[in-house]
Chains A and B, each alone.
Chain A
Amino acid sequence: MSAVIALFQMLIFPGFLFLVLLGLTGQFVDRKLYARLQNRVGPPWYQPTADFFKLLGKESVIPEEADRRMFTLAPVFALASVIASSFYIPLWSTKPLFAFEGDLIVVLYLLLIPTLTFFLGGWYSRSVFSTLGAVRSITQLFAYEIPLLIAVLSPALLANTWSISGMTEYYASHPGRWLFNLIGFAVAMVTLLGKLEKVPFDIPEAETEIVAGSFTEYSGRFLAFFRLAIDTEAIVSASLLAAVFLPFGLALAPWLAFIVFLAKIFAILAVLALLRTVFARLRLDQMINFCWRIVAPVAFFQVLLDLVVKELLLP
């Protein structure tokens, strides 16, 4: 019986199906908000779902030059790793589906895999634009991943645990202490734009330069799964940030906590949509400079702040 429940939890709620629905809703919120901020009407609520099913029905072209296996497996790996990482993130309570000491590192590792699949998928497409996009993806990864890692680890330092559920429990029992981590939250938001490849860090898929980067050769269901992976990655990353940086409202009644959780992730998505509205795309060298010269030192400052707070203020 417990196996059936576990399977239900993984596949339907709060696992795969729930995340997919949330991912498509998240894409709608992002597109609609982006459109309204640009004085456009924007898509109707069912547009992301319609796009997904339309792509599933389209012909999937695999270039002759491409490595067939890598080309077709990349989207599946991207989606699978995102879904797997969600099992370790507590959504609206302090308890995730699975938890162990150190799952924070595992989640960050699993969330890195989509970017690697973008690289592999693009690299093995063997077209010029895909290769350029792939190389840009991986170059950009080195710029944002380390500040993101540092930013997410600093609340863990304060909570003295490497487990996400441990962190949420710590912050739930010490209300108000999450406020020390706001700088890290800002850093994580900026680097999340890089991770999700959104303006101003949409360099790997810059349309006017390299068509669609890694995804240039992708079509049909492979493209559909890549896009679904990106949508769910946005939700899972937002849930991670919500769990780590905004750990409040977890002790409420389950339905109320669920609403608070939705409010948190959609607020994060709204801020991301706002940020991509107001900026132009940076050049790769400018992006790397920005991440290493400004974002990384700020992230280190957050670590320092947490150490000082932990040692001096909260003995």
Chain B
Amino acid sequence: MSDHEKIMQVPVGPQHPALKEPESFMVDLRGEKIDAVRMRFGYNHRGIEKGCEQRSFTQDLYLVERICGICSYAHSTAFVQAVEEIAGLEIPRRALYIRTIVAELERIHSHLLWLGVAGHEIGFDTLLMYTWRDREQVMILLAQLTGNRVNYGLNTIGGVRRDITAEQIPSILKVVDLLEERTKYYIELAQTEETLRQRLANVGVLTREDALSLGAVGPTARASGVDRDTRRDDPYGAYGEVSFKVVTAQSCDVFGRTVVRLGELLEAYAIIRQLVKNIPDGPVLVKAPRRIPAGEAVSRYEAPRGEDVHYVRGNGTEKPERVKVRAPTLANSQAVAKMLEDGYLADLPIVIAAIDPCFSCTDRMIAVKGNGESRAMTWDEVSRYGVQFYKARGIDFSRVRLREGPAA
């Protein structure tokens, strides 16, 4: 029963315990070593970009926030920044500070979540339980500040909907102090725990050249020595007014990606302390027009997973003509195949997890017709297509009343 020369096909996904969302990795195995990986995305397409064209800018804000369950604020802020640029709004400084505080709190909860997931993928569940316990502190704080644990609904065109009161500031600092202490413990753990180092070091190697040519972003790129961070290179919010350093690593492996994320946590605590100390007084909202003037804008945002790009085009009505979202996972997904080359099957979950993937944010659909005809589908066509797609597979959504866009 020599299994070593035979190639075995292992379907990791669309349903697999290592994956938090459905996507498919068909792995050719030679013994325990990976021969080739074929990735297939597209199980999570939800038609959000199309849906945005049917709704007003204000409604889109809440729809866009639901692109991602973890970095929801990244998408919401990136979108609102683009709309505000088109409308030529001057956002009050206090609102920018509040946005930046919440953005960094989101980064903290996202990175702590990632650390736990990474622990789980290498069978170190204790790390998962510890980090998620600590993450609860920042989740509670976010609920206190915004009213929600995720999908904060804080942004609005022209500023933020809720102010941070003077009483809330001590509780922010308390959480930051506690988490900083915990993060230092995790850094010590990562440096001293032998099994952790064995499973992370020299795994999923992505050289600096590959990171650049495959267009990796965020901690994935920074762990390969690419010194790139939108917060510093193209400051938005209040990032221009705080000092922080961009954490990079030269080891180009999963261990480096862990080090970068842990380092970014420490930077996030420092940024929040500066912001809370220097937050200016004043209004948090300016009045925004109902109709956004014609024009287009691209907004860049350093989400926890990497650079998030939103493109918005308005045509002078209250609805956008086009919204395009480039989620960071799309930029990083090409690098995954490279990282998996010549690796072990045992390393596949942690290598995929190391880009901190968010596949539902990434999935888009393009309808290609055989005769080369190019045409955009309408919202009705998209929803009918979805209903028929599932009906053919035995799930009937046709009785579900689809709410059309407002005033459609």
Residues of A bordering B, CB below 8 Å = 37-40, 128-129, 131-132, 135, 199-200, 202-203, 206-211, 277-286
Contact = CB atoms under 8 A, between A and B. Distances in A.
B326 to A, nearest CB: 29
Contacts of B195: 200, 279-282
Given A128-B9, A211-B16, A283-B198, 8 more contacts: A129-B10, A132-B345, A199-B125, A208-B18, A279-B124, A281-B122, A281-B199, A283-B346
A202 B123 CA distance: 8
Instruction: Give chain B's interface secondary structure class.
Output: helix
B44 to A, nearest CB: 20
The 5 closest A-B pairs by CB, nearest first: A281-B123, A280-B124, A38-B129, A208-B18, A280-B195
A286 B123 contact: no
Contact of B346 (A38, A206, A211, A279): A206
23 contacts: A38-B125, A38-B130, A40-B129, A128-B8, A128-B9, A128-B10, A132-B29, A135-B3, A200-B123, A208-B122, A208-B349, A209-B345, A209-B346, A209-B349, A277-B126, A280-B122, A280-B198, A281-B122, A281-B195, A281-B199, A283-B198, A283-B199, A284-B32
Contacts of A129: 10
Interface residues on B, range: 20 to 34
B17 A280 contact: no
Nearest to B17: A207
Contacts of A132: 8, 10, 29, 345
B182 interface: no
A280 B123 contact: yes
A277 B128 CA distance: 11
B121 interface: yes
Contact of B32 (A37, A208, A211, A285): A285
Given A38-B129, A128-B8, A128-B10, A280 B32 contact: no
Contact of B126 (A208, A278, A282, A285): A278
Interface in B121-155: 121-127, 129-130, 133
B345 to A, nearest CB: 6
A282 B199 contact: yes
Nearest to A123: B1
A182 B290 CA distance: 79
Q: Which of B126, B127, B129 has the most chain A CB atoms closer than 10 A to its own CB?
A: B126
Contacts of A40: 129
B347 interface: yes
Given A128-B10, A284-B32, A285-B344, A39 B130 contact: yes
A283 B11 contact: no
B70 interface: no
Contacts of A211: 16-17
B120 interface: yes
A284 B125 CA distance: 18
Contacts of A209: 18, 345-346, 348-349
A282 B345 contact: no
A200 B195 CA distance: 8
A208 B344 CA distance: 13
Contacts of A207: 17-18, 123
Contacts of A199: 123-125
A283 B344 CA distance: 8
A38 B126 contact: yes
Contacts of B349: 208-209
B263 interface: no
A135 B347 CA distance: 17
B381 interface: no
Contacts of B126: 37-38, 277-278
Interface string B343-361: 0111111000000000000
A281 to B, nearest CB: 3
B92 interface: no
Contacts of A283: 198-199, 344, 346-347
B133 A208 contact: no
A280 B126 CA distance: 9
A304 B346 CA distance: 37
Contacts of A37: 126
A139 B267 CA distance: 45
Contacts of B344: 283-285
A129 B133 CA distance: 32
B119 interface: yes
A278 B192 CA distance: 12
Interface string B248-287: 0000000000000000000000000000000000000000
A314 to B, nearest CB: 38
A131 B16 CA distance: 16
B232 to A, nearest CB: 33
A222 to B, nearest CB: 20
A203 B127 CA distance: 18
A280 B3 contact: no
Nearest to B352: A208
